[in-house]
């Protein structure tokens, strides 16, 4: 026989969600926990006689979840997943009004609160609706990193990866930007050194600094030669 859960009470609480007080038993509730948004754990008091589930108002209304309603356990899972998507989508819209995100970056941010499946589905919906234009955003970042901040291409790719772009797209975005490693290195040297160090230890330290910034040996050597020539 299917398991049934009874809604004891339903009311809107802080955060605009509907709090369902149910008679779900502890075993079934523990099974559900992997589906529940992580932040909801902080709402649930250990002293509660009834276990609470927090849902999107639209989903609670769609399924007419009112006191006395009995829900099959399988249907409750469907309800929670629909609510997770609705809440993650609402959060994604809110995040995207404040700044741009890559798909990977938005999924990572949403996954801090919602199960990954809901985060991925909400992100896909943002792409479908045109709220995420990943390549445009990535190209702007690549230009910022390489052209204005003077980063090496390798360092720019790492920064793009940190923003949630996958490896192939990060490489492609960095390649799409005009890159002059000699100019970037010379700016760094000019800002750090009045004159280049002449001793071996100083030269090695300077070389290692540039290498850690992602410039290749050939790029460093060419830039130092030009720097010395310009002097």
pLDDT 10s digits, 85-126: 999 999 999 999 989 999 999 999 999 999 999 999 999 999
Same-domain check for residues 172 and 214: no
CA–CA dist 161, 57 (Å, integer) = 36
pTM comes to 0.82
Longest Cα–Cα distance in the chain: 87
Query: Sorting pLDDT into bands at 50, 70 and 90, what band is 195?
Result: confident
In DSSP terms, 9 is beta-bridged to 21
> Are both 68 and 119 inside the same structural domain?
no
Per residue in 143-159, pLDDT tens? 999 999 999 999 999 99
Query: Can you spell out the DSSP letters for 178-201?
Result: ---HHHHHHHHHHHH-SS---SHH
Please answer whether residues 191 and 153 qualify as being in contact, where contact means their C-beta atoms are separated by less than 8 angstroms: no
Parent domain of 108: 89-128
Domains contained in the chain, number: 4
Is residue 215 over pLDDT 80?
yes
Which of 61, 58, 63 lies closest to 5 in space, CA to CA?
63
Residue with the larger pLDDT of the pair 122 and 35: 122
Residues 123 and 149 in one domain: no
For residue 225, pLDDT over 90 is answered with no
Residue 19 and residue 78 share a domain? yes
Looking at the structure, do residues 175 and 186 belong to the same domain, yes or no? Answer: no
The pLDDT of residue 40 is above 80: no
pLDDT band at 77 (very low <50, low <70, confident <90, very high): very high
Tell me the average pLDDT of the chain. Answer: 89
| 45 vs 119, residue with greater confidence | 119
In this structure, are 165 and 101 located in the same domain? no
Shared domain for 21 and 44, answered yes or no, is: yes
């Amino acid at each position: 026989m299917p398991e049934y859960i009874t809604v004891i009470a339903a009311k809107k609480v802080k955060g605009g969600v509907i709090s369902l007080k149910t008679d779900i038993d502890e075993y079934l509730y523990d099974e559900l926990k992997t589906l529940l948004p992580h932040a909801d754990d902080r709402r649930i008091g250990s002293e509660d006689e009834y276990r609470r589930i927090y849902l999107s108002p639209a989903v609670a209304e769609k399924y007419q979840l009112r006191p006395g309603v009995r829900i099959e356990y399988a249907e409750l899972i469907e309800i929670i997943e629909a609510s997770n998507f609705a809440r993650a989508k609402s959060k994604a819209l809110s995040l995207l009004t404040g700044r741009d995100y890559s798909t990977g970056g938005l999924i990572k941010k949403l996954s801090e609160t919602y199960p990954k499946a809901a985060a991925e589905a909400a992100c896909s919906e943002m792409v479908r609706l045109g709220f995420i234009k990943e390549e445009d955003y990535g190209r702007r970042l690549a230009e910022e990193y390489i052209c204005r901040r003077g980063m090496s291409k390798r360092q720019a790719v790492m920064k793009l990866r940190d923003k949630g772009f996958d490896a192939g797209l990060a490489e492609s975005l960095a390649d799409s930007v005009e890159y002059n490693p000699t100019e970037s290195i010379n700016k760094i040297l000019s800002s750090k050194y009045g004159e280049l160090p002449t001793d071996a230890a100083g030269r090695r330290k300077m070389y290692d600094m540039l290498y850690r910034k992602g410039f290749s040996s050939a790029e460093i050597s060419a830039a130092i030669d030009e720097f010395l020539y310009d002097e």
